[in-house]
Amino acid sequence: MIPDIDQGRNAVTGANPRWSGRRKGSVRHWPLLPLLLGLLSPSIQATSPETPEAEQPWTELERGILVLEYENDLFAGEDRYYTSGVRASWITPSARQPGVLRNVGRLIPFFPGQGDINTYWSIGQNMFTSEDIEAPVPDPDQRPYAGWLYASGGLAEETGDRLDRLQLTLGIVGPASLAKETQEAVHGITGAPIPQGWDHQLQDEVTLMVSYERQWRSLIKTPDHDWRIDVTPHWGGTLGTPYTLVNAGFTVRLGQDLPHDYGPPRIQPALPGSGLFIPRSDRGWYLFAGMDARLVAWNVFLDGNTWRDSPSVERRALVADAQVGGVLSLGRMRLAYTHVFRTPEFKNQIERDDFGAVSVSWLF
């Protein structure tokens, strides 16, 4: 039974506590189309069991959630392709939303209209390089150099077992993204080889993108000693000049005192996860694994500039991520590490793309 709203809302969200070196070798081909088609079906339903009082989330927070994310192929011993991504986000809880934003959220057609509305604000930078960063003239058959600097804003509605998000992202690709300066500065500090091909990067281009994502969470089993296993299927779509795609997949979590979240956050395009989380106790942890399949109609970082000639490669339409990792929840803080295995994204890419992702979330 869902607790009384006036007695059970969380101070953070205003939500009900129930809510609350390079490798060699061949690339494996995964049976992705059945997964994609199955998860896109509108018949997907998730069930959520009763939440005993002993499992209610910690409720001493009221301002919001700060999320810091860092992705880099350094964790896989590589320095190529999608080589780095950083993002900082702020999530404002439902209790602090102006009434007009809550009303707008409930008017969005895809939203359920019965949950708690939160806002997301993010700023980030991604960078992509060719396979050989020490070559002054990049191989035209390899991924182009490109940087992307962007800011995002969006609304999310959470009902306890379902999370819907709608996000608008405005950014810029090209020298104005400052990716060249950022990577050269970091490599200079760390003593890594200085990339030589940034003079051949994509040209300046303003980007605009709209994304929608939906995630469910269902409890599969509740063993003894506060162990939990749950599965979070997801699907979504993105329309814009950086990316145009549809995606679907799932995440499985196993652990003790699972924080109330939908998996750790990731930088797009990726398994969605969530910056939004509420601990069930002062200490908890879980291991996770997941998969995401994407049908990609446009990727400016492979297809090249939208309105002018630029380096480009032949994009693959079907791309998938498999990921594994762990999450540690300590009081107000959630730490997560994710290792990602990505299938080739363009025709001349023989080896898969591996990288790691670290995120820190802090409840205020």
Query: How many domains is the chain partitioned into structurally?
Result: 1
Instruction: Identify whether 60 is part of a domain.
Output: yes
Structure token pair of residue 363: 């409840």
Q: Whole domain around residue 201: which residue ranges?
A: 35-363
Q: What is the pLDDT of residue 303?
A: 97
In tens, the pLDDT along 138-167 reads 999 999 999 999 999 999 998 888 999 999
In eight-state DSSP terms, residue 14 is: S
Q: Is 231 helix (H, G, I), strand (E, B) or coil?
A: strand
- The whole-chain average pLDDT of the chain stands at 82
Instruction: Identify whether 224 is part of a domain.
Output: yes
Q: Distance between CA 297 and CA 117 in Å, rounded?
A: 31
Closest to 277 (Cα-Cα) out of 339, 338, 214, 328: 328
Say which CATH number the domain at 169 has: 2.40.128.140
Average pLDDT over residues 222-251: 89
pLDDT class of 222 with cuts at 50, 70, 90:
low
pLDDT at 72 over 60: yes
Q: Distance between CA 353 and CA 270 in Å, rounded?
A: 13
Q: What is the pLDDT of residue 317?
A: 97
Instruction: Identify whether 12 is part of a domain.
Output: no
pLDDT class of 39 with cuts at 50, 70, 90:
very low
Q: Distance between CA 184 and CA 147 in Å, rounded?
A: 13
Q: What is the pLDDT of residue 45?
A: 39
Q: Nearest 5°: phi and psi at 19? A: -55, -60
Q: Distance between CA 208 and CA 241 in Å, rounded?
A: 6
| Dihedral over alpha carbons 173, 266, 83, 182 (to 10 degrees) | 60
Structure-model confidence comparison of residues 364 and 288, the more confident one? 288
Instruction: Identify whether 8 is part of a domain.
Output: no
Instruction: Identify whether 195 is part of a domain.
Output: yes
Helices assigned H by DSSP within 10-89: 32-39
Q: Distance between CA 341 and CA 76 in Å, rounded?
A: 10
Structure-model confidence comparison of residues 107 and 122, the more confident one? 122
Q: What is the pLDDT of residue 30?
A: 40
Instruction: Identify whether 223 is part of a domain.
Output: yes
In tens, the pLDDT along 166-214 reads 999 999 999 999 999 999 999 999 889 999 999 999 999 999 999 999 9
Instruction: Identify whether 6 is part of a domain.
Output: no
Highest mean pLDDT among 36-45, 290-299, 323-332: 290-299
pTM above 0.85, yes or no: no
pLDDT class of 31 with cuts at 50, 70, 90:
very low
pLDDT class of 62 with cuts at 50, 70, 90:
low
| Tokens 């490599």 found at | 187
Contact 204, 178 (CB under 8 A): no
Instruction: Identify whether 333 is part of a domain.
Output: yes
